[in-house]
A and B are shown apart, each in its own frame.
Chain A
Amino acid sequence: MSRTIIIGGGPAGMSAAVEIARSGGDALIIDSNPRLGGQYWRHGENAQFSHDGARFFALQDEIDREPKIEVRAGTQVWRAAHLDGVSSLWLNDGTAVTSDSLLIATGAYDRSLPFPGWDLPGSMTAGGAQAILKASGALLGRSVFIAGTGPFLLPVAALLVEAGVKVLGVLEANRVNGWLNHLGAVDLSKMKDAARYFKVLAGAKVPIRMGYAIIEARGNGHIEEVVIAKVDRNFAVKPGTMEVHKCDAIATGWGFTPDLTIAHSLGVSTDVHPIDRSVIIHVDAFQETSQRGVFAAGESTGVGGVDLALIEGRVAGIAIAVQRGLITTIDAKKRSVGLAQERSKIRKFADALLSVYKIREGWRSWINPQTILCRCEEVTFHQLRNVIHDLGANDVRTAKLLSRSGMGLCQGRVCGRIVADVVAGEIGIQATDDELRGIHNRPIAHPISLQTLADQGN
Chain B
Amino acid sequence: MRGVEALAHIPYARFLGVHVEEGEHGLVCVLPFRDDLVGNVVLPAIHGGVVGAFLELTALVAALTVADSDRVPKPITFSVDYLRSAGPRDTRGRAEVVKRGRRIANVRVLAWQDDPAKPVAAGIGNFLL
Are chains A and B native binding partners rather than an unrelated pairing? no
- B interface vs A, CB < 8 Å? none
